[in-house]
Structure 1
Amino acid sequence: MDWMVASPPNTAALRRSKQWWERRWFVALVILLTTVPLLYPPVPPLVDLLGHMGRYRVALDLQDSASLQRFYAFQWKIVGNLGVDLLVVPLAKLIGLEAATKLIVIAIPPLTAGGMLWAAREVHYRLPPTALFALPFVYGHHFLFGFVNFALSMAFAFVAFGLWLRLGRLGKTRLRAALFVPISILVWLTHAFGWGMLGLLAFASETVRQHDKGKGWLMSAPHAAFECLSLAPPVLLMIAWRESSGGNTVDWFNWEIKWRWITMALRDRWRTFDLASVAVTGGVFLLALIHPRLTLSRMLFFTLLVLSIAFAILPRIIFGSAYADMRLVPYLWAVAMLAIRFREKTDLRLARMLAVAALAFFLVRIGANTWSLALAAHEQRQLLTALDRMPQGARVASLVGISCRERSWPMWRNSHLGGLVVVRKQGFSNDHWDVPGAKLLTVTYGDAGLFRYDPSNLVRDPACRLGSAHPIGPMLRLLPADAFDYLWLVDPPAYDPALVAGYQKVWAGPNGSALYRLPGADANNAS
C-alpha cells in the first residue's frame, strides 16, 4: 500500500486558497450546530444521566437534608470517573442542579467535535472535505446512553490529542512532556477510559512520527513509548484505585456482541435509519480504499488499527462497568472518517462533492437527533407530572418497562426517570448503581431490600428474556410495600391488576404509566 510510505504534504496545494469547508466561520458554525439536539430538552433525555443526577443531588445537599440522610451516604474518593461530578457541584450552587447538568452535557458534543477537527487539521495540514462524516458520532450510542463522564473524558482526549499533534509537529516535545503530565491526570480523573484513549492516540501517532524521522517501524514503537511517558502518572492512581476496590472483568471476545456494537454505533430511535447511517460511513471508508484519488493518512490509519485491536481485546465488562468495548466503537468510526485524504493532488470537483455529501450527512443526523431528543423530552415532561403528587422525602419504587421486541432499538430513555425523585423531591429512588470501586454514593436504606439498586427499576414481560430486567409480576409481589410510599409504573408491560389492588392510584400517565400510593406510606408523607 503506497500510502504506508511517508510523503510530505503537497506545499503547492497548501498555498492555494481555502475551500468553504475549511473556513474558520464554517468550522465554528459546524461545531456550534452539534449543540442543537440538546437545546430544547429541559433535562437531557440520556438514559443513565437521570440516575447520575440523583447522585449529584446527594453530593450537593446531603449535609443539610434530613430526608437524604435517611437513605444515602456519600464520600468523595479519587477514582477515574469523576468528570461531571466535579464540575456540577460548584456550578449547581450558582445556577441550580438541572441547569448546571444541562450546561455541562451540552458542552460535550462541541468539545468532542472541535477536538476531532483539530486533530484532522494537524494530521492533514488542512481540513479534508470528508471530516464532517465523523461528527455525527459525537451523538453515538455511548453518548445517548448517558455515559457522560466517559463522553466528557473522550472530548478532553481529542482536544488533548490535537495539542499533542501540534506540539509534536512544531518539535516542542519538551514542552509537550511538561504539559501532558497534568493533562493526563485531568483526563484520568474525568474517566479512566478517556485517559486510555489518549494514550492510544498519542502512542499511535508518535509511532508514525518516529518512523517518519527515519527510525524504521521496529524501533519506532519503543521510541514512541518513551515519548508517551508523560502520560503515565495516572498509572499510580489506577493502581491505588483498584487495590481499594473490586468489580468483575468478564465477557471476553464475544464476537457476536462486538459486531452488534459496530452496527449500533449511531443507535438512537429509528433502526433502519440508524443502520443506514452507519452503512453510509462504511461506504465512504470503502470508497477511500478503492478510489484512485483517495487514500488514508498513515498516522490516523495506524491509530485506527491500534484502536481496533484495543476494541477486539476489551471485554464487555471491566471492573463491574458494563459496555466497556461498546463505548469505543463510535470513535473508531470517527477516526476512520478523519483518516481519509487525497493522494498527491486534490481533485477539487471530487472534494466539493464529498464536502457537500458530508455536510448533508451531518445535518441529517443532527436533525434526526434533535427530533428524537425532543420527542423523548416531551414524553418525559408528561411522565414527570407524577412528581407533583409526591411530597418531599417520598420513598418511591420505580418499575420501568423495557421493550423486548428484537431487543428494542429505541434507547430506554425512561430507565432512570426515578433519579428525578431524588433531584426534585430529595426522596428515595431504587435506580442507583452498585459498582464496586466506582461509586461515591451508597444506599443506606436497608428496608428497601432487593429494591436498593439498579436493575430493580427495570421490568419486562415474562415472555421476554432480556437479562437486564426482571419479570414484572414477581417484582410486584416482592415489593416491600411498607418500605415505600409510592409505586411508580412507567411504560409497564401487561401485569395482573390484582397485584396492585390494595394500592391507591393517584396519577395516570401515557402507555399505562401510573403512580400508586402504598398502604405503608409514612403519615407525614401523605399527599
Structure 2
Amino acid sequence: MDRGEALRWWQTRWFVAFCTILAAVPLIWPDVPPLVDLPGHMGRYRVQLEYAQHPWLAEWYDFKWSLMGNLGVDLLVIPFAKIFGLELGVKLIVLSIPPMTVAGFLWIAREVHGRIPATALFALPLAYAFPFHFGFVNFALSMAFAMLAFGLWLRLGRLGKLTLRAILFLPISALIWLTHTFGWGTLGLLAFSAELIRQHDIRPRREGGWRQDFVTAWIVPWFKAGIQCLVLAPPVVLMLAWRSGGNVSGQTFDWFNWMAKSRWVVQVFRDRWQLFDIASVGVLFLLLFKAVRDPNIQYSRNLTLSALFLLAVYILLPRVVFGSAYADMRLVPFMIAIAILSIRPKPGMPIVGAAVVAILGFGFYGARIAATTASFAIYDASYDRELQALKHLPTGSRLLSFVGETCYNEWTMTRLQHVPGLALERNLSYTNDQWSMAGGQLMTVKYLQDRDRLARSFTHDPSELVTDVKCPREYWRPVARALVLFPRDAFDYVWLIRPPHYDKELEAGLTPVWRGGEGSTLFRVDRRVERPDPGEVMLPMPVWERQMPIPTEYEQLVNSMAPQ
C-alpha cells in the first residue's frame, strides 16, 4: 500500500503513459491487423455499411439490426468508417484495444496497492494474448473496457463515492454488455469480489459467539456486496430478451474438457515462436510461484479473491457457449493477469530489489512487444502477397475460396483463414468464409438456401478451409473433394490460398487469371468444360491407409453434420 514514499520510476505517470503507448506499436505497420478472424468481420462491416446500395448483397446475405451482446466494433465502425474509411477505421479501433488493456491493468494495480508494484509489469504482455491474436475483437474490446471500468469501480469505492459509482455504472455496465457479454460478466465478477473484501474490511467489530462472528464476517459482507453490485445487473434483462428471441441459434456444450483447458493455459501467448511463447508462460508461473515462497512478496486479498473467482468460472465454463467457440480459452489471459496484479512487495522490501524486479518486468514486456511487432510484420507481408489476387477479381463476382489448412494444429497459424473476407470488403464479392449463426451476429448467409444441402455447405464457414486428407473431428474437406464437388454454376471464381498439393487434373474447367507463390491461384470458372467425375478421383490418404475413390455418400453424410 501507499506509505507516503516517493514515487519510483515505474510508478510515475510518464512511465504509465509510455507503457500504454508502447502497446500500440505492433499494430502500427500492418494495413490490416493480422488477426485470424478479423478479415471475415471486415467483410461483414462492409455489408453493414453498404447493404442498401448494392442489390446483389441482399441476394447473398441477410442483414438485420438487432439488440445483442456482441456489437462493439460493429457500432464503432459506423462513425470511424465515415471519418477514416473502413480499413483505417477498423485498424484504429483494433489498435486502441491493447493500450486500453494495459492502462486498465496498471490502473487496477494502482488502486489496489496504492502504488504500482514492480511485479505488475509482468502482466502487461497479456494484452497480446492468444484470444486477441485469434481476432475476437468485440470480446477483446469489451475486456479492455471491463479492465478500465474495474479500475474506476475500485477508485470510487476507495474514495467512498458509492452513490456516484452507482449512477455511473448503470450505463457503463450496459455499454460493456453491448460491446460483448463476456466483458460485462467479467466486470461483474471482479466488482463483486472487490466489494466483498471492502465490506469485510469495513464491517463493525463486535464481541460475540462464533455464530455472530460468522454472520458479521461472512454473511453480511456477501449480502452487502450483492446489493452494491445490483447496478451491474440491468443487462440481465437485455440478455434474456436477446437469447429468448425466436431467431436465435447456437448450442452450449463441451463441458470440463480438461485437455483443452490445460492447453489454453500453455498457449496463452501463442503467436509464432513456440519455444519463446511457452517460455513466456513459464516466466509468469515462476513469478506466481515465487510470490508464494518469497518472504518479501505477498498477494493482495482483493485481487487474489478475484483471480480465484475467475479460476472457478474457467473450470466451470464450457468450450462452446451459444455456438461461440473457445469461450473458456478467452478468459485465461485475464485470469492470469489478475493473479499477477495481485502480487505486491511486503513493507520493508529493499528498494533495490523492487527496482531489479521492475527492470526485469519491463524487459519482459519489451521483449514480447518486439516479438509481436516482428511477427505482425511477417504476417502483413503474407497478406500483401495473397491480396494481389483481388486486383484481378471483378466487383460483385461470386467467389469461392479454399484456404490450405492441416490436421496438425501447428503453433504458428497462417492467419489466412479468413483473408477471403477481404474480397467482400474490397471488391463486394461473395465469399464463403462468413459465419452464419442466427442471433450470434447481425448477418447470416442465405445464398443457395433453396439448393440441396451439398451446395449450401459451400456457402459459409468453415467451407473455405481445405486439407490434404480428411481430418478427424473437423468439417474441413480435402482439397480434392472441394475442387470436384463445389457447384460450378453457383460461382464465378475460385481462389486457392496456399492449398495442399493436389492433382492438377482437378483444375479442369478452371482458368487461372492470377498465380502467386505457394500454389495460390485465382481461377475463373469455365462452365463449358466438364468437371472430373467424383467417383474417379483418388484422394491422398494417410500412409497407413490405402487410397480409394471418393464415396459421394460419405461426402453427403459429412455435410449433413455441418452447421447450417
Q: Is the 8 A contact 1:482 1:519 kept in 2?
A: no
Q: Give the unaligned 5+ runs of structure 2.
A: 204-215, 529-564
Which one scores higher on RCO, CA 8 angstroms, separation ≥ 6? Answer: 1
Structure 1 partner of 2:275: 272
Secondary structure of 1:64's aligned partner: coil
Structure 2 partner of 1:498: 505
Q: Deviations over 1:121-178 (max 9, x none)?
A: 0000000001111111111010000000000000000100000000000111111111
- Once the two structures are superposed, the pairs formed by residues 216-255 of structure 1 within 5 Å of their partners are 216-244=217-245, 245-255=248-258
Q: Is the 8 A contact 1:485 1:520 kept in 2?
A: no
Structure 2 partner of 1:209: 198
Shift of 1:513: 1.1
Shift of 1:20: 0.6
What is the CA–CA distance in structure 2 between the aligned matches of 1:466 and 1:460, rounded to whole Å?
13
Shift of 1:403: 2.9
Q: Is the 8 A contact 2:509 2:527 kept in 1?
A: no
Select which of 22, 43, 53 maps to 2:32.
43
What is the CA–CA distance in structure 1 between the aligned matches of 2:503 and 2:354, rounded to whole Å?
61
CA 1:263 to 1:115, structure 2 compared with 1: closer, same or farther past 3 Å?
Answer: same
Structure 1 partner of 2:173: 184
What is the CA–CA distance in structure 2 between the aligned matches of 1:229 and 1:508, rounded to whole Å?
59
Shift of 1:91: 1.4
Secondary structure of 1:295's aligned partner: strand
What is the CA–CA distance in structure 2 between the aligned matches of 1:253 and 1:489, rounded to whole Å?
37
What is the CA–CA distance in structure 2 between the aligned matches of 1:379 and 1:169, rounded to whole Å?
49
Select which of 182, 205, 213 maps to 1:193.
182
Q: Is the 8 A contact 1:67 1:426 kept in 2?
A: no
Shift of 1:450: 1.3
Structure 2 partner of 1:350: 353
- Once the two structures are superposed, the pairs formed by residues 19-58 of structure 1 within 5 Å of their partners are 19-58=8-47
What is the CA–CA distance in structure 2 between the aligned matches of 1:106 and 1:286, rounded to whole Å?
33
Q: Does 1:424 align with 2:399?
A: no
Structure 1 partner of 2:338: 335
What is the CA–CA distance in structure 1 between the aligned matches of 2:477 and 2:470, rounded to whole Å?
11
Select which of 368, 371, 382 maps to 1:368.
371
Secondary structure of 2:457's aligned partner: helix
Q: Does 1:399 align with 2:388?
A: no
Q: Does 1:79 align with 2:79?
A: no
What is the CA–CA distance in structure 2 between the aligned matches of 1:468 and 1:209, rounded to whole Å?
50
Q: Tell me whether 456-465 or 25-34 shows the greater mean CA deviation.
A: 456-465
Q: Is the 8 A contact 2:35 2:132 kept in 1?
A: yes
What TM-score, normalized to structure 1?
Answer: 0.95
Secondary structure of 1:63's aligned partner: coil
Query: Percent identity at matched positions?
Result: 50
What is the CA–CA distance in structure 2 between the aligned matches of 1:192 and 1:474, rounded to whole Å?
39
Q: Tell me whether 90-99 or 443-452 shows the greater mean CA deviation.
A: 443-452
Structure 1 partner of 2:552: none
Letter of the aligned partner of 1:361 in structure 2? F
Q: Tell me whether 35-44 or 433-442 shows the greater mean CA deviation.
A: 433-442
Shift of 1:395: 0.9
Q: Tell me whether 473-482 or 254-263 shows the greater mean CA deviation.
A: 473-482
Letter of the aligned partner of 1:26 in structure 2? F
Q: Deviations over 1:84-103 (max 9, x none)?
A: 00000121022110010001
Q: Is the 8 A contact 1:460 1:466 kept in 2?
A: no
Q: Is the 8 A contact 1:320 1:436 kept in 2?
A: no
Q: Give the unaligned 5+ runs of structure 1.
A: 1-8, 522-527
Structure 1 partner of 2:53: 64
What is the CA–CA distance in structure 1 between the aligned matches of 2:273 and 2:406, rounded to whole Å?
14
Shift of 1:33: 0.4
Select which of 126, 129, 142 maps to 2:118.
129
Q: Does 1:459 align with 2:466?
A: yes
What is the CA–CA distance in structure 2 between the aligned matches of 1:182 and 1:411, rounded to whole Å?
38
Secondary structure of 1:15's aligned partner: coil
Higher helix content, 1 or 2: 1
**Structure whose CA Rg is larger:** 2
What TM-score, normalized to structure 2?
Answer: 0.88
Letter of the aligned partner of 2:302 in structure 1? M
Q: Deviations over 1:308-367 (max 9, x none)?
A: 000000000000000000000011111111111012223211101110110010000000
Aligned-residue RMSD, C-alpha: 1.3
Structure 1 partner of 2:446: 444
Shift of 1:466: 6.0
Q: Is the 8 A contact 2:254 2:318 kept in 1?
A: yes
